[in-house]
Amino acid sequence: MEFVGSHILSVDQFDRSDIEQIFAVADDMQPYAHRTRITRVLQGAILSNMFFESSTRTRVSFGCAFNLLGGEVRETTEIKSSAIAKGESLHDMARVLSGYSDVIVMRHPAEGSVKEFAEASRVPVINGGDGSNEHPTQALLDLYTIRKELEDRGDAIDGLRIAVVGDLRYGRAVHSLLKLLALFDNISVNLVSPPDLTAPLDSVRDLENKGHRVETFQNLEDGVNHVDILYVTRTQEERFPSQEEADRYRGLFRINQTIYTEHCEPNTVIMHPLPRDSRAAAQELDDDLNANPNLAIFRQTDNGVLIRMALFSLILDVADGVHDHAQPVTWFTARRTPRTLG
Ligand code: NCD
Distance (Å, whole) CA 13 – CA 111? 17
- By CB atoms closer than 10 A (0-12, 13-18, 19+), residue 152 is exposed
2-6, 91-95, 139-143, 337-341: lowest mean pLDDT where?
337-341
Q: Which of 11, 54, 55, 238 to mutate to test the pocket of ligand 1 (most atoms within 8 A of CB)?
A: 55
CA dihedral 319, 320, 324, 329 (to 10 degrees): 40
Q: What is the 173 CA–ligand 1 centroid distance (Å)?
A: 7
Q: Is this structure's pTM higher than 0.85?
A: yes
Distance (Å, whole) CA 271 – CA 61? 18
Asked if 117 and 8 touch (Cβ cutoff 8 Å), the reply is no
Report the atom number in ligand 1 closest to the C-alpha of 58.
7
Asked if 27 and 271 touch (Cβ cutoff 8 Å), the reply is no
Taking Cα atoms as reference points, which of 198, 142, 134 lies closest to residue 165? Answer: 198
Residue-range domains of the chain with CATH: 11-134+304-331 (3.40.50.1370), 136-298 (3.40.50.1370)
The sheet carrying 72-76 orders its strands as 72-76, 46-51, 103-108, 125-130
CB-ligand 1 contact for 172 (6 Å cutoff): yes
- Nearest residue (by CA) to ligand 1, atom 7, is 58
Q: What is the 342 CA–ligand 1 centroid distance (Å)?
A: 36
- Nearest residue (by CA) to ligand 1, atom 2, is 173
Mean pLDDT of the chain: 95
Distance (Å, whole) CA 159 – CA 184? 8
Helix, strand or coil for residue 125?
Answer: strand
pLDDT in tens, 31-50: 999 989 999 999 999 999 99
Report the atom number in ligand 1 closest to the C-alpha of 54.
3
Distance (Å, whole) CA 9 – CA 6? 9
pLDDT in tens, 59-79: 999 999 999 999 999 999 888
pLDDT in tens, 204-241: 999 999 999 999 999 999 999 999 999 999 999 999 99
What are the helix (H) ranges across the chain? 16-28, 30-33, 57-68, 90-100, 113-120, 136-151, 172-181, 201-209, 220-223, 243-249, 257-263, 297-315
